Each structure stands twice: as C-alpha cells, then as structure tokens.
Amino acid sequence: MVAVNCEQVWQEISNYIDGEIDPNLRAALEDHVGGCQRCTAVLQGTRNLVRLYSDERLFQVPLGYSWRLQRRISATLPGRRGNSLGWLVAVAATALIVGGITLANSRAAAPKVRSVHAQIGRGVPATLAVIVNNHGKLFHVAGCPFLNEKDGTRTLTAEEAEHEGYVPCVRCMAKYLGQVAMNWTKKAWGIVSA
C-alpha cells in the first residue's frame, strides 16, 4: 500500500469525499486519516461544509447579493496592475522582433566581401563592365593603372563582381564616376564640348 502524508490528504480530500479516487489511494488516505487527528478534523470539517452549502434550504441568498459580493471583492483586491506597462512591453517586444528581422535581412542581402576592411560600393551602375583580378579584392574599370594583370583577369558586370565579394577600386571608380557625373551635368545644362 502507498503511504501518504498530510499534504497529500489535503490535496485529495475533495476527490475522496466525491468518491472520485483510485482505490489504492483511497485505502492509503483512510489509513492515514485513521491515525492522524489533524487530517481527521480536516476531513470532518470539509464534509460538514459540503453538507451545509449543498443544502438549498439552508441559505436564501438576498436579491442583488452576488453583485454586492463581486463589488466588495473587487474593492479589496488590488486593481489591474501594469495594464499600460503590459502594452509598453508588448510594443517594445514587437519593435525588437521587427528590428531583428530587418537587421537579419539586411545582413543576408549584403554580399560577403573579400576584405574585412572593404565596403560595398555605392553609386556604381550595376551593368558597368568591370575587370577583376582572380586573386584580388577590387574591381576596376578598363585602363585603371592600379589593376594587377599578372595573375589573370576577367570581365564581369559591377553587380556580378559585388556578388562575388569584390569591392570597387576607389581610385578608378572616383575618376570614372566623376567623368560620368561631369558628362551628365554638361548634358543637363546643355553644354556641348568642342
């Protein structure tokens, strides 16, 4: 037979009275209650309360009693705490999640560069034909004096070069983009070179 302590008796006392308990546990509870005065008193008191409250003839509840009881309980219990704090926490959590997703997407979209000190080029036309050195880290425009052609080169678009991790040569790109900007400005202003 299973031995039970006082706390287990108190937890199962309602089920014991209702007869909704395993027979082995029932026997263990009866054995414990038979030798424990405190648990015997708890069992008898619980049975008396159940008998009193289940008798409909005993209490005639006055009209409006339940409403007054609820109002009284609400007055004694602490009010809703943290209602605005709960909303603030929810908004902050949402902002963190959205920020994390945005950050993850921006990092996932950025190609891995070949040099830890390099930065992705900005303003370089994606379709611009560039030259890369197979062992280098930069892409160049044709005729760049800083292009090392010893180890083999190949031609790609700027977009393809960036996707492979190459970054623009600041010297030749500045010169090229400067010329493109100058030509665009001249066309916009209607200046024709002679």
User: Of 185, 137, 133, nearest to 155 (Cα)?
Assistant: 133
Query: What phi-psi label fits residue 111: left (phi over 0), alpha (psi between -120 and 50 degrees) or beta?
Result: beta
Look at residue 26 and tell me whether its pLDDT is greater than 70. yes
What are the residue ranges spanned by the domains of the chain?
Answer: 6-54, 129-189
- Global confidence as pTM: 0.36
pLDDT, averaged across the chain: 77
Going by pLDDT thresholds of 50, 70 and 90, the confidence category of residue 194 is very low
Cα–Cα dist 19/30, whole Å? 12
Tens-place pLDDT, residues 147-165 = 777 668 888 898 888 888 8
Determine contact, residues 160/190, Cβ cutoff 8 Å. Answer: no
**At 187, which amino acid appears?**
K
Joined together, the tokens standing for residue 22 give 């395993």
Half-sphere exposure of 142 (CA within 13 A, CB side): 6
State the pLDDT at residue 106. 63
Determine contact, residues 168/138, Cβ cutoff 8 Å. Answer: yes
User: Of 165, 46, 80, 152, nearest to 117 (Cα)?
Assistant: 165
User: Of 150, 110, 111, 109, nearest to 133 (Cα)?
Assistant: 150
